A and B are shown apart, each in its own frame.
Chain A
Amino acid sequence: MARAVSKKKVAVVTVIAWIVALIIFFPILYTIITSFKSESEAITGFNLIPSGTLESYAAVEAQSGYFKFFLNSVVLSLGSTLIALLIGVPAAWSMAFAPSNRTKDILMWMLSTKMMPAVAVLVPFYLMFRDLGLLDSRVGLTVMLTMINLPIVIWMLYTYFREIPGEILEAARMDGATLWGEVVYVLTPMAVPGIASTMLLNIILAWNEAFWTLRLTTTNAAPLTTFIASFSSPQGLFWAKLSAASTLAIAPILIMGWFSQKQLVRGLTFGAVK
């Protein structure tokens, strides 16, 4: 009896979950559908079945060259993730294994920077970038993306490292492991899943970042967010082309997310269930 009820409950929850997921995913789906329509089709109203034309894609590629933006996106997201990990791993490490009285405060402070609206510091950053000649440069934007995602990287890694019991490291030390041996044979194997999911999430966040990438670039360092934006304002409302551009922009990250979703979910819920 109790079992039947719980089965029913599971079914209800499953249906609700599917509806919610569909609502969340629908805009993306509709964007993809629209990208396969002609411009006239796209403005005629709600329609789930496209004609299947690729003319929008051809037009988009011919107009602005997808590949250049794609390359910038790759360089920016991978570059900023790599630097964030280089800084974040040792930082999280020392906070997890050699905390001081102020570790908690530092973590809170880092988190608080994420609560500040980015636009509040737009002007100072813009001026700094202008004076340093970093506007529309890959270096400048990589630094920017590193800075905005570093708090999240450190927080995630910190929670991961905290899960590694200190006694295991002490055991390794007693067993004669040098610092190097400790890192290679014990720490890294235990921390790899955490570092990997942090890396994946950070790549996604950096790839999707649209505030600073739109404001600090024009052409040279512009990633795919700029590529999408360039189809919205200056040329009027070309829905099909805009959708094609968006689809092209989100496709790589969607594919990556699909293949790494297990890792990502584990990473994001790690430490929450124990």
Chain B
Amino acid sequence: MGNIVLKKVNKSFGATQVIPGIDLTIEDGEFVVFVGPSGCGKSTLLRLIAGLEDTTSGAIEIDGKDVTAAAPAKRGLAMVFQSYALYPHMSVAKNIAFPLKMAKMSQAAIDKKVADAARVLNLTNYLERRPGQLSGGQRQRVAIGRAIVREPSAFLFDEPLSNLDAALRGTMRLEISELHHQLKTTMIYVTHDQVEAMTMADKIVVLNAGNIEQVGSPMELYHRPNNLFVAGFIGSPKMNLITGNIAVPFNAQTIGVRPEHIAISNTEGAWRGSVGVAEHLGADTFVYVHTEQAGNVTVRAPGNIEIRHGDVVYLTPDPDHIHRFDRDGLAIR
């Protein structure tokens, strides 16, 4: 079981309030991603759940039990750190066995569990090596191995992939997702990368300046962002947010249109503009257009479009996919 409830959780460092008060429920077996720009308090929130930071006020419950004051080890959680935090003086086998040794498990049981974990994570041939002799991806797998042998009620991941190169990051993302399907254990994953959030999460928690901006499934956040922050943060390339006269007919302060919801034409359309940069990615082309009416607009066009710097183009937003926001930046529905 791994049902986690945060009740008005507040964290201050001295006079600085990092998390003003958060309410959040994480269901058992869910893959929850905390996402937000750096400094938004997502890591702090994870560390509060882990027990590595003391909660200033509020309560944290795991499986209905108040653990606000409990030591990290008593919470039944396992954590994977950004730096992997492996014990450099121990072999891979000893690293993975460490939590079991601390739990005073018998050596025979430890050996079996370590062998099982190593098999799942493709580490069997590396068990006698030290962490220093492993690649980044292997180290990450050892860190995950150390977490899974404990059979925790939930896994906490603190930006686990940000030290890896892009290709490996993609592979590890899949491995972690697969691990979640296999284990069906609650996972809380912190990242600043919205692609990781979108691809892995059952539920995304978007944080900004210590506040929860929105909680929802990836598609909910994509289609129905609650406010300007979420609208701008989720989706790549970013949603075009346009303020001014254009928004008036929509009865809004700001309208938002995603790059993929704008049609581009050489002959006719709602907004006229000239192409600044066209990024040809193969499958897609990202076109950055300077328009007279709507300012700078990003458009996601098909990969085979022939367009280059200086071309005059016309843009038409898809009326079904226009997001409207009021003066306070909140979505109008």
Contacts and interface: CB of A to CB of B under 8 A. Distances in A.
A122 B219 CA distance: 77
Interface string A162-180: 0001011011111111100
Interface stretch (A11-19, A147-155, A182-190, A200-208): A182-190
Nearest to A168: B85
A176 B103 contact: yes
Contacts of B283: none
B85 A171 contact: yes
Given A170-B52, A171-B79, A176 B99 contact: yes
Interface of A: 165, 167-168, 170-178, 181, 185-186, 189-190
Main secondary structure of the interface of A (DSSP, over half): helix
Contact of A190 (B77, B89, B150): B89
Nearest to B73: A176
B89 A175 contact: no
A190 B73 contact: no
A165 B83 contact: yes
B81 A170 contact: yes
Given A167-B81, A170-B52, A177 B102 contact: yes
Nearest to A173: B72
Interface residues of B, number: 23
A186 B102 CA distance: 12
Interface string B182-198: 00000000000000000
B286 interface: no
B81 A175 contact: no
A168 B146 CA distance: 13
Given A176-B99, A177-B102, A170 B87 contact: no
Given A174-B50, A174-B78, A175-B73, A167 B89 contact: no
Contact of B85 (A170, A176, A177, A178): A170
Nearest to B102: A176
Contact of A175 (B52, B83, B150): B150
Nearest to A192: B89
Given A165-B85, A170-B85, A190-B88, A185 B98 contact: yes
Contacts of A173: 52, 71-73
28 contacts: A165-B83, A165-B85, A167-B82, A167-B85, A168-B85, A168-B87, A170-B72, A170-B79, A170-B81, A170-B85, A171-B79, A171-B85, A171-B87, A173-B52, A173-B72, A173-B73, A174-B50, A174-B52, A174-B79, A175-B73, A175-B78, A175-B102, A175-B150, A176-B103, A177-B73, A185-B98, A186-B87, A190-B89
Residue among B50, B77, B87, B146 with max Cβ neighbours from chain A (10 Å) = B87
Contacts of B99: 175-176
A253 to B, nearest CB: 30
Contacts of B81: 167, 170-171
A186 to B, nearest CB: 6
Contacts of B103: 176
Contacts of B72: 170, 173-174
Nearest to A175: B99
A171 B82 CA distance: 11
Nearest to B143: A171
Contacts of B78: 174-175
Shortest 6 CB-CB contacts between residues of A and residues of B: A171-B85, A175-B99, A176-B102, A176-B73, A167-B85, A189-B89
Nearest to A164: B88
A135 B217 CA distance: 78
Interface in B41-96: 50, 52, 71-73, 77-79, 81-83, 85-89
Contacts of A190: 87-89
Nearest to B94: A185
